[in-house]
Amino acid sequence: MLNKKMFRDIKNNLSQFITIFLMILIGVMAYSGIEAYMGGMQKTKDKFYSENNIQDLNVIGANFTVDDLKTIKNIDNVNGAERKLSVTATTDNDKTLLLNFIESNNISKFYVFKGEKFDPNKSGIWLDNFYAIENDINVGDTILVKYEDLELKEKVLGLINVPDHLYDVRDESELYPDRKEFGFAYVSINEIKEDYIKKRAMKEMNITDENIFDMYVKDFNYKDYLIFNSVMVDIKTKEKRDKVKEDIEDKVENAKAIINIEDTSSYVTYQGEIDEGKTYVGVFSGLFLFIAMLSVITTMTRVVKKQRQQIGTLKALGFNNRKILFHYIGYGFWIAVIASILGLLLGYIFIGRVFISLEMAFFEIPNGKPAMATSSYIVALGVVLIVALITYITGRSILKENPAETLRNKIPNVKSRSINFTKKSIFKKLKFESIWNLRDILRNKMRTLMGIAGVVGCCMLIVCALGMLDSMNFFVDLQFSTLYNFNYKLNLNNNIDNNQLDELYKKYGSHTSQTIGIEIKNKKGKRESNNIFVTDAKNYVRFVDRKNNIISPPKDNGVFITKKLSETKGYKLGDTITWHIYGNNKYYTSKIIGFNKDPQNQNVTMTRKYLESLGINYKPDSLYTNIDLNKEKEIDNVETIQDIESLKEDMTNMLSMMKTMLVLIIGFAILLGTIIIYNLGILSYTEKQYQFATLKVLGFDNKKITKIFIKQNNWIAIISIIMGLPLGYYLTDWLFKTAIEEHYDFGASIKFKTYVIAAISTFIVSYLVSKLLSKKIKNIDMVSSLKGNE
């Protein structure tokens, strides 16, 4: 019978229970969904990396011989090693391919979508799956690949994903992978034929006649002349990695740089996405859940308190406390159980799957799927327990009274002390509706605070979502209009000589730069990878300070380091840094003479003159020009031509992907805000109904009562907006500063328009909900409302 009563009570208070249900559902859904998404990202990656045996180290050098490979393989704790020749090649239709020549494929193994497994003895190419899709290339098609004077016409044998190619961009100035223009490919080293190697060897030896060459080089084995510029190393125990690195440095002279896989851009970018997401989990879903739970707690407390007389009746009828408590716990419990289970499922399906599929369009990784996190089950269980506990505590406090007392209605308790101050001074001049609302707020602090928390959360999320877009746009503008003051960037060939350079200078000007990979010895003596940007670009590449004002480049007596790097590593103006170039053990000490802000790279900057004053040869790798190269498809000795507009376009593409997520966040924010405002509005209305009925009896018309009711909600909305706007800014700034990868330096830069939109939309949501609720005022039945109170 009590169950019947429960169902009917729920039916009679349906709107309140529906809001409780929705708040739990959305809270759990947001939390579990984002957790499933992040967990899925991590799991997918871990699985792919371990099943396909990603390398632990990349050893870089000019050329590694068979002996070098043997040496590395024989080092303690090395599980295996494979040589690779990586070059930037072009196709016959001017696409760029990162072409890898390999001997075997046991490290960083292919995941084959279509076609066959790698076989060194097979002639053909294994192609980047995304690149193939974008360019409509299929297994069995033939493509032409060119690298310098080597031309390979290869049949596509497989479409693949490779663990160290989750994310590839042409160079660091590209922000978004352009799969139509750039991809990776693998071929067997055997595809470089003896003829080609022999000709190259003859060229190097300045021999034109093959017979003479054969005379000089007896027992010519072309395989000894193959070049491998990197070795992938698989280590047994990761803890011993530093030791392995040291051993390679000692024993392999050709090793110029040894890079941990965790420092490679593909790894860093994917992991960065996870780390970024983990912060979002904490912030967004935590915020959702927190606000939703506050609201659920308030509502459940009120629902049970409303049952006061019925609790008294049940007690008077002889029901024991346990039975009554269980009966009331049931109200919230079953709703919380159903909402939590649905929240878990919907979160997995709608948030987890949707976000993962967005990510899988960005990263080249197979079998991406969400993974339900244990913490989500704990949160769901926690929500159910909290709801049950709140009902229990409220019910118990009513049960402590004797039945006679419980049967009487509790007259609203007004603690006059807390509102006494409103009888004096300026408050005396307030209109009735203002003073009434003010005191109502003071009387119902908890309900008001919940309302404020809900609306603040809604406003913050809107500011944050739109603010992130503003900030990204600001960053694009800073990068491409302020820092980059050129129209084209030419990436020069590695082996360009001075004559060829002069040719280019004549045609396109001599604004150049060089990026040098270095290791900085930090204050504790540990070496950390970084790079130096050596500028001879004059004002084609500009610098800004922390406040984004343009500053002059460093003088010729020291280096600039980026502000973020100085903050994370604790460098001050006038300090020195000790560094060495990869592949050269000579250490240099440079004085920090200034700080610059770089949104994308946290590195060191110096002038060409300063570099040369240290006795280091300047060898530009980039040339900047404003000459129109729109029609140029290829320039001699230039690897790639980058158009600033297309770089900007890449960025805009990335922003449009972000927009989808932001729309989702805003949608959630508004949904949550609406539900919370509606829910608390219902509570507030129910509590005031009797007073409104009295006002109606006294002759107040509906319009006037509506005005009183909406006024309070408007105040709450305005206070919340005032709080929500700056909090939204800080949330955005915090997210940018902490969640984003270490090499970025963004901050919130939110337009005034965004604040206006956030304020207006929050107010509109609040106003519309109040207006909707105020419709009930029209239908207040004075007689039954006043009777209900008796």
Partner 1 sequence: MKNFIELKKVKKTYVIGEQKFNALDGVDLEIKKGELVVILGPSGAGKSTLLNLLGGMDKITSGSIMIDNQDIGKYNDKELTKYRANDVGFIFQFYNIMPTLTVDENVNLIKDVTKTNKESKEVLKKVGLLKHADKFPQELSGGEQQRVSIARAIMKNPKLLLCDEPTGALDSKTGVEVLKLLRQQSDEDTTVIIVTHNSLIAEIADRVIKIKNGKVEENKLNSHPKKIDEVKW
Query: What are the residues binding partner 1 (CB under 8 A)?
Result: 411-414, 416, 419, 423, 431-432, 435-436, 439-440, 443, 690-691, 694, 696-702, 704, 782-783, 786, 789-790
Q: Are 410 and 308 in contact (CB under 8 A)?
A: yes
- Name the minimum Å distance from CB 369 to partner 1: 55
Question: Please, which residues have CB within 8 angstroms of residue 459's CB and are 6 or more apart in sequence?
Answer: 673, 720, 721, 723, 724, 725, 727, 728, 758, 759, 762
Torsion of CA 232, 235, 238, 243, to 10 degrees: -90
The least distance separating partner 1 from the CB of residue 397, rounded to whole angstroms, comes to 21
Whether 122 contacts 129, CB under 8 Å: no
Contact 139, 237 (CB under 8 A): no
- Residue whose CB is less far from partner 1, 695 or 759: 695
Q: How far is the CB of 346 from partner 1 (least distance, A)?
A: 39
**Taking the complex as a whole, how short is the minimal distance between the CB of residue 691 and partner 1, in angstroms?**
6
Contact 369, 280 (CB under 8 A): no
How far is residue 122's CA from residue 128's CA, in Å, rounded to a whole number?
Answer: 18
- Residues in Cβ contact with 470 at an 8 Å cutoff, skipping those fewer than 6 apart: 749, 750, 751, 754
Q: What angle do CA 304, 306, 309 make, to 5 degrees?
A: 100
Query: What CA–CA distance (Å, rounded) separates 605 from 62?
Result: 26
Token pair of 422, please? 């409103």
Q: Which residue's CB is nearer to partner 1, number 712 or number 720?
A: 712
State which residue, 377 or 427, has the beta carbon closest to partner 1. 427
Smallest distance from the beta carbon of 676 to partner 1, in angstroms? 24
Q: Which is nearer to partner 1, 193 or 423 (CB)?
A: 423
Which residue lies nearer to partner 1 by CB, 627 or 783?
783
**Closer to partner 1 by Cβ: residue 5 or 408:** 408
Count helices and strands in the chain by DSSP H and E runs: 24, 21
Cα–Cα distances in angstroms (integers) from residue 24 to residues 77, 195, 558, 676, in the given order: 51, 71, 58, 11
Which residue, 117 or 775, has its beta carbon nearer to partner 1?
A: 775
Closest approach, Cβ 400 to partner 1, in A, equals 22
- Give whichever of 308 and 327 is closer to partner 1, judged by the CB atom: 308
- Among 361, 368, 506, 452, CA closest to 676: 452
Measured from the CB atom, the residue of 414 and 722 that comes closer to partner 1 is: 414
Closer CB to partner 1, residue 121 or residue 420? Answer: 420
| Residue 511, phi then psi, degrees to nearest 5 | -90, 105
Shortest reach from residue 783's CB to partner 1, in Å: 5
> Quick check: 238 and 56 in contact, CB under 8 A?
yes
Is-contact 171 98, C-beta < 8 A?
A: no
Instruction: State whether the Cα torsion 53-59-63-66 is positive or negative.
Output: negative
Is there a contact between 126 and 160 (Cβ–Cβ < 8 Å)?
Answer: yes
What is the smallest separation between the CB atom of 461 and partner 1, expressed in angstroms?
A: 33
**Minimum separation from the CB atom of position 11 to partner 1 (A):** 16
User: Does residue 78 contact residue 259 with C-beta atoms inside 8 Å?
Assistant: no
Sign of the CA dihedral with 128 first, then 130, 132, and 135 last? negative
Beta-carbon contacts of 250 under 8 Å, excluding residues fewer than 6 positions away, are none
Shortest CB 782 distance to partner 1, Å: 5
Q: How far is the CB of 420 from partner 1 (least distance, A)?
A: 8
- 243/704 with CB nearer partner 1: 704
The CB-of-427 to partner 1 minimum distance in angstroms stands at 10
Neighbours of 497 (CB within 10 A): 10
The C-alpha atoms of residue 438 and residue 551 are separated, in whole angstroms, by 53
- The C-alpha atoms of residue 484 and residue 642 are separated, in whole angstroms, by 12
Closest distance of CB 429 from partner 1, Å: 12
Residue 423 or 555 with smaller CB distance to partner 1: 423
Q: How far is the CB of 408 from partner 1 (least distance, A)?
A: 11
Minimum CB distance to partner 1, residue 423 (Å): 6
Residue number, 256 or 704, with CB nearest to partner 1: 704
Whether the CB-CB separation of 102 and 189 falls below 8 Å is answered with: yes
Which CB atom, from 416 or from 495, has the smaller least distance to partner 1?
A: 416
Estimate to the nearest angstrom the gap between the alpha carbon of 205 and the chain centroid. Answer: 52
Torsion of CA 126, 128, 134, 139, to 10 degrees: 20
Q: Name the residue nearer to partner 1 (CB basis): 319 or 690.
A: 690
